Structure 1
Amino acid sequence: MRIERVTMTGADDRTDPLALLDLSRRYPFVEWGVLFSERRAGTARYPGPDWIRTLLRLAPYREGARFAAHLCGGTMRSFMGSFGGVSEPDLNAWLVPFTLTMSEYDSFFGRTQVNFDQERERFDETRLATMIRRWKVQTRGDLITQHNQANADLWPAIQSADRSDGRGRRHQVLMDASGGRGVSPETWPRPIAGVFCGYAGGLGPDGIIADLDRIADVVGDGVIWIDMEGRLRDATDRFDLSRVETVLKAVSDRVL
């Protein structure tokens, strides 16, 4: 098993953006997961609009640094209203609270992870397929959804969208049985054939190598990414860059 990238999620207003760029230069396989939530913006884990715009202003100096947006709560629902709605969408509407346009967003964030519980949100197959198709037409980045029991019915919609639009597989899957709660599964799921898959759930500085060995047992010779959030934080719920670097050092010999 080889790791294509390591996503570190949860930088917020207390995190120095330049420190992220410095780590990106030293560990080019790192990807920074930025949590988008209109209601929680400016709190721990959820940066506010000013921090996000500062990040974008540094874009000319990022030298290959990689960023992914993780859409949560009301922001996720607003996104789904734009990309999954039946009428002609206003694709900028969901970004208004963050003072961004879709063009700015699309030029910066290489991947977008849409965090939803399909059972709770009741997104039907048609809406999900519409969202995926529209995303492929209107953007350049890749799309990530979580794969777990609550999202078990999501896969048929994804397969339908991938087969019908002829635009390639820009949809990726994060294996996260706990749905973002940071709980390690008893057994890691096998990757989906033909799909770039990531793994999350309880990963962090402590025991990362043992966890990777367990994941490797089901992945075999495949290529994956890993994502972590909760265990990167200190006792004050601050994004701890020393913990981030501990992980990056530990996994560097397993990266492509």
Structure 2
Amino acid sequence: MTHTPPLFVAFTGADDPSLLPGMMALGARYPIEWGMLLDEAQEGAPLFPDARARAQMLAAPGLRWAAHVCGDQARRIADAPDSATIDLQGFTRVQVNHGFAGSSPEQIANTIAFGRRKGLRAMLQTLGDFPQEPRLDWLFDVSFGRGNRPAQWPALDLAGPFCGYSGGINPDNVAATLEAIAAPPEAAYWIDMESGVRSEGSFDLAKCEAICRSVYP
């Protein structure tokens, strides 16, 4: 292994409470952040657990959760944060998926303010180089859950904000992806995947474990 490994891997789209024993066992062995997608309009659909499932999953001991807020609530956070009503108890970070055309300075400021009010580290997505705004965490993502891989990965700045990478990462290509990212020594970053850890539409813990084994041999 010649790459600098990420601080943790993020598996987004966990939606099945029956997998909690396996998730807790895997989380005890590897540094993992579990991403939960939240959108009132899609609640109960695959990827978007309903209120009962969310409560079960957030109550499980030893798991670190990030909220990936989509839909109306994400737009409220970005454009009018005082109007956002989403409950984020049990999460340690919040990613605001308000749209895929980039964020304006006002939306960045609103997201920072919202995260601070909630006591959470906030994240936004970027389509290109990582912005030099250290009050947010930044996820490079040109895939948006579709499994598309980028032509190239932006470079990490050791003096810049905390950043992550997403886009078509799966057990078969994660090692090559880390080599392509080529994080310098002592770099702090994470990798995130959604479609790459699903099989036939379902969250697949075997794929999560395969990723962890490859990243942290």
TM-score (norm. length: structure 2) = 0.86
Deviation at 1:141, TM superposition (A): 1.8
Does the 8 A contact of 2:79 with 2:110 survive in 1?
no
1:173 aligns with: 138
- Pick from 7, 12, 24 the counterpart of residue 10 of structure 2: 7
2:28 aligns with: 25
Does the 8 A contact of 1:15 with 1:239 survive in 2?
no
CA RMSD of aligned residues (A): 2.4
Deviation at 1:26, TM superposition (A): 2.1
Mark the runs of 5 or more structure 1 residues left unpaired by the alignment. 84-88, 160-168
- Pick from 9, 19, 35 the counterpart of residue 16 of structure 1: 19
Does the 8 A contact of 2:143 with 2:168 survive in 1?
no
The CA deviation string for residues 195-251 of structure 1, in whole angstroms up to 9 with x for no partner, is 1110110101112111111111xx32222100001021112x011111111111111
Determine helix, strand or coil for the equivalent of 2:202.
coil
Identity %: 32
Counterparts in 2 of 1:229 and 1:130: CA distance versus 1, 3 Å: closer
Counterparts in 2 of 1:200 and 1:229: CA distance versus 1, 3 Å: same
Structure 2 Cα separation of the partners of residues 177 and 119 of structure 1: 10
The structure that is helix-richer by fraction is 1
Structure 2 Cα separation of the partners of residues 239 and 129 of structure 1: 34
Q: How many residues align?
A: 212
Does the 8 A contact of 1:178 with 1:201 survive in 2?
yes
Does the 8 A contact of 2:34 with 2:66 survive in 1?
yes
Determine helix, strand or coil for the equivalent of 2:52.
helix
Counterparts in 2 of 1:70 and 1:15: CA distance versus 1, 3 Å: farther
Deviation at 1:190, TM superposition (A): 1.3
- Output the amino acid matched with 1:114: V
1:143 aligns with: 122
Structure 1 Cα separation of the partners of residues 114 and 36 of structure 2: 22
The CA deviation string for residues 42-78 of structure 1, in whole angstroms up to 9 with x for no partner, is 11111111101112333xxx23x21111011223124
Does the 8 A contact of 1:148 with 1:179 survive in 2?
no
- Output the amino acid matched with 2:91: F
Moved over 4 A (4+): none
Counterparts in 2 of 1:182 and 1:49: CA distance versus 1, 3 Å: same
Deviation at 1:36, TM superposition (A): 0.5
Structure 1 Cα separation of the partners of residues 107 and 180 of structure 2: 35
- 1:171-250 equivalences under 5 Å are 171-192=136-157, 193-216=159-182, 219-221=183-185, 222-235=187-200, 237-250=201-214
- Pick from 76, 97, 102 the counterpart of residue 115 of structure 1: 97
Deviation at 1:134, TM superposition (A): 4.0
In our comparison, the structure showing a higher alpha carbon Rg is: 1
Determine helix, strand or coil for the equivalent of 1:146.
strand
- Output the amino acid matched with 1:148: L
1:131 aligns with: 111
Does the 8 A contact of 2:33 with 2:65 survive in 1?
yes
